[in-house]
Amino acid sequence: MVKEKDYVSPVAGIVLLLFSLYMFYEGIALMVVRDVASSLLATLIGFVSLSGGITLIRTWSLSRAYSGGEKHGEESTGSSGGSSE
């Protein structure tokens, strides 16, 4: 069964990735205007949001892989116990 809240993390991760791309674009646009402090801040915010988005997606995929492997192990144990009766 897929829970409704199961896709909150990857959607939030993708939103953070898109936000980081926007911040990188803004950082480049500010570099053209030669606003150094603002461009560095925009680039820093882009890197932080990129890291957060990747971490959210990676954690979500690892938790799904772990919970999926655990369910398969229980099913195989349950089926072998039923065949011995």
pLDDT of residue 85: 47
Tell me the percentage of the chain whose pLDDT exceeds 70: 74
> Which two structure tokens, joined as six digits, stand for 44?
């820093």
Q: What angle do CA 23, 12, 2 make, to 5 degrees?
A: 160
pTM: 0.72
- DSSP conformation letters of 55-73: HHHHHHHHHHHHHHHHHHH
Buried b or exposed e, range 40-79, using 16+ CB within 10 angstroms: eebbebbeebbebbeebbeebeeeeeeeeeeeeeeeeeee
- What residues in the chain have per-residue pLDDT under 50? 76, 85
